[in-house]
Amino acid sequence: MPGARAHLTTLAHDLGFEVTGWADAAPRPAEVAIYQDWLGSGRQAGMDYLTRQLPRRADLSSSLPGVGSVLMLGVSHAFAPQPVPAGGIRLGRVARYAWTPDYHAQLEPLLERLKQEAASLGVRARGYVDHGPVMERALAGRAFPGWQGRSGMLLSTTLGAFTTLAALLTDLPAPPETPTHPDRCGTCRRCVAICPTGAIGPDRLIDARLCLSALTIEHRGPLPWELRPRLGEWLFGCDLCSEVCPWSVRAGPLARLFVPEAQLAHPDLTQFFGCSEREFQRRFGHTAFSRPRRKGMARNAVNVVGNDPARRGREVLHLASTDPAWEVREAAAWAWGQWRAQGEAERLLHDPQPEVAAAARRSLEAGG
Ligand code: B12
C-alpha cells in the first residue's frame, strides 16, 4: 500500500518515539556469525534464552512470515538527576532505564497501536521490545542516524546512548535504499576506560560474565567474590559506559515519553528486606526491579553497603544477616568483612547454610 511507510512513521512519532527508521529485514549472515561466535565464547553468561533465540534471530520470517522491512523505534531515557526522597537508607545507583515503570509495559501498547494501524492499511506487523528474537541494535544501526559504538551501545546522533529500542516487523517490502551511517566514535575510548571490570571487548561486544548490568540484574546466586568491590555503588544495572559517552553528554537529559520517579532512582534499601517475594512483587512488579526479584535486590543492596566508604547503612547489614535467603546472608558475611566488623562476621560462622559459614570464614581470614 503506497504511503504506508510514511503513515506508520508519522504515527510512531505521534505516539512519542523520538527516533525512527526503516531497515531491510533480510538475513545478514555476517551479523548472525558475530552473534554465534559471541554465544560460543560463553560471553552470554547464564542467559540461555539467547542461545535458544538463535534460529529466529537469524531469520525474521520465522517470527513474521513474509517480513520485508522493520520499523525501528527509539525513545530516550536520558533523565535529569532526581532528588533524593527523605527517609530510609538511600544508597547506591540505579541505571536510568529503571527510573521509570518497566519500559516493556509502557512500549508494548504503543507497538500494539502501530500493529492495528498497519492492519487497517492491509499490512501485517508484529512488535518486539527487548526480549524478542530480534537483533535490535543491528537493525537500528541500519535504520537510524546512528551506529554501534565502542561500548556496544547503539548511539543515536540525536539521543546519544540512553536510547531504548523497539522493533515493528512488517510485511512491507524492503525499503528502497538503506543509507549507511558512519562510525563516529573516532579515537574516543572513554567507555572502555571507565568500565570497572573490562567487560567491553575490542570487538565492541560485551562479556556478560563481567558486565555490572548482567551481574546485578541477570546473575542468580552469590556474586563472584572478586568482582564485588568493583560493583562499587551500583545497585541495579550500570550506566557508566553510556554516561561518559560524548554523544550522551551532548544530547543532555531530553527524555519526554518516559517519566522518572525519584523513589525508583533512589530506593530505600530497607524495602528489600522483611517482606515475602509476593509482597515485593506487589510493590515492585511494575518496575524493572522485579527481574532480579527480592533476593537479588537484597543481595545487591548488601553489596552496595559493603562497598560504602563511609560505612553507612548498618541497618541493611543487620537485616541481611538474618534474611531467609542464604544468598543474602552470604553477601552480609562478605560485607561485614569489608567493614572489618569481625564480631558481626563471626556470628555468621555458625550459619546452617555452608556457603554462608564459608563466606564468614573467608571474610575473617581476609581481615587478618
Ligand atoms: C542480552 C542483552 C544484554 C546483556 C548483554 C549485553 C550485550 N551488549 O550483548 C546484558 C545483560 C549485559 C545487557 C546490558 C545492558 N543492556 Co541490554 N540487551 C540485551 C539484548 C536482550 C540482546 C543483546 C544481544 O543480542 N547481544 C549479543 C551481541 C552479540 O549482539 P549486539 O550487541 O546486539 O550486536 C549485534 C549487532 O549490532 C552486530 N554488531 C556487533 N558489533 C558490531 C560492530 C559493527 C561495527 C557493526 C556494523 C555491527 C556490529 O552484530 C551483533 C550480532 O548480531 C538486547 C535487546 C535485543 N533484543 O537486542 C538488550 C539491549 C541491547 N540492552 C540495552 C540496554 C539499555 C542495556 C544496558 C545499558 C542496561 C543498563 N543500563 O544496565 C546495558 C549496557 C551494556 C552494554 N554496553 O551493551 C538496550 C540498548 C539500547 C542501545 N541504545 O543500544 C537493548 C537494545 C534493549 C532495548 N530494547 O532497548 N544487555
Cell of 16: 512519542
pLDDT of 288 over the 60 cut: yes
pLDDT value, residue 181: 85
Residue 60 lies in a domain: yes
Q: Do 205 and 160 share a structural domain?
A: no
How many angstroms does the Cα of residue 249 sit away from the middle of ligand 1? 20
Residue 8 lies in a domain: yes
Percent of all residues in the chain with a pLDDT value above 70, rounded to a whole number: 99
How many angstroms does the Cα of residue 23 sit away from the middle of ligand 1? 17
Kindly give the number of the ligand 1 atom that is closest to the alpha carbon of 77: 65
Residue of minimum CA distance from atom 19 in ligand 1: 130
Residue 206 CB–ligand 1 contact under 6 Å:
yes
User: Which tens digits make up the pLDDT trace of 67-83?
Assistant: 999 999 999 999 999 99
Cα–Cα distance measured from residue 199 to residue 205, given in angstroms and rounded to the nearest whole number: 8
Which domain does 259 fall in, by range?
Answer: 190-366
Residue 159 CB–ligand 1 contact under 6 Å:
no
How many angstroms does the Cα of residue 128 sit away from the middle of ligand 1? 14
Strand pairing class (125-128; 163-170): antiparallel
Cα–Cα distance measured from residue 345 to residue 364, given in angstroms and rounded to the nearest whole number: 7
How many angstroms does the Cα of residue 267 sit away from the middle of ligand 1? 26
Given 24, 59, 102, 130, which residue is catalytic? 130
Kindly give the number of the ligand 1 atom that is closest to the alpha carbon of 140: 37
Kindly give the number of the ligand 1 atom that is closest to the alpha carbon of 132: 57
Q: Do 221 and 156 share a structural domain?
A: no
Residue 86 lies in a domain: no
By residue count, the chain amounts to: 368
Percent of all residues in the chain with a pLDDT value above 90, rounded to a whole number: 96
3-state secondary structure of 17: coil
pLDDT of 1 over the 70 cut: no
Q: Do 242 and 121 share a structural domain?
A: no
pLDDT value, residue 2: 65
Q: Do 317 and 251 share a structural domain?
A: yes
Residue 138 CB–ligand 1 contact under 6 Å:
yes
Which among 93, 137, 178 is the best mutation to test ligand 1's pocket, defined by most ligand atoms within 8 Å of the CB?
Answer: 137
Nearest by Cα to 219 from 207, 229, 227, 209:
209
Q: Is 24 assigned a catalytic role?
A: no
Q: Do 197 and 161 share a structural domain?
A: no
Residue 223 lies in a domain: yes
Kindly give the number of the ligand 1 atom that is closest to the alpha carbon of 154: 84
Q: How confident is the model at residue 367 (pLDDT cuts 50, 70, 90)?
A: confident
User: Which tens digits make up the pLDDT trace of 266-275?
Assistant: 999 999 999 9
Return the H-helix or E-strand segment holding 352: none
Q: Do 252 and 352 share a structural domain?
A: yes
Over residues 138-150, mean pLDDT: 94
Q: Do 205 and 165 share a structural domain?
A: no
List CB contacts of 265: < 8 A, sequence separation 6 or more. Answer: 79, 81, 82, 94, 96, 99
In this structure, what are the phi and psi dihedrals at residue 350, rounded to the nearest 5 degrees? -100, 15
Residue of minimum CA distance from atom 55 in ligand 1: 130
Q: How many domains does the chain have?
A: 2
Q: Do 195 and 166 share a structural domain?
A: no
Residue 182 lies in a domain: no
Residue 180 lies in a domain: no
How many angstroms does the Cα of residue 104 sit away from the middle of ligand 1? 16
pLDDT value, residue 175: 87
| Boundary-marking domain end, from 170, 199, 227 | 170
Residue 345 CB–ligand 1 contact under 6 Å:
no
Over residues 300-326, mean pLDDT: 98
Residue 196 lies in a domain: yes
Residue 107 lies in a domain: yes
Residue 148 CB–ligand 1 contact under 6 Å:
yes
User: Which tens digits make up the pLDDT trace of 106-140?
Assistant: 999 999 999 999 999 999 999 999 999 999 999 99
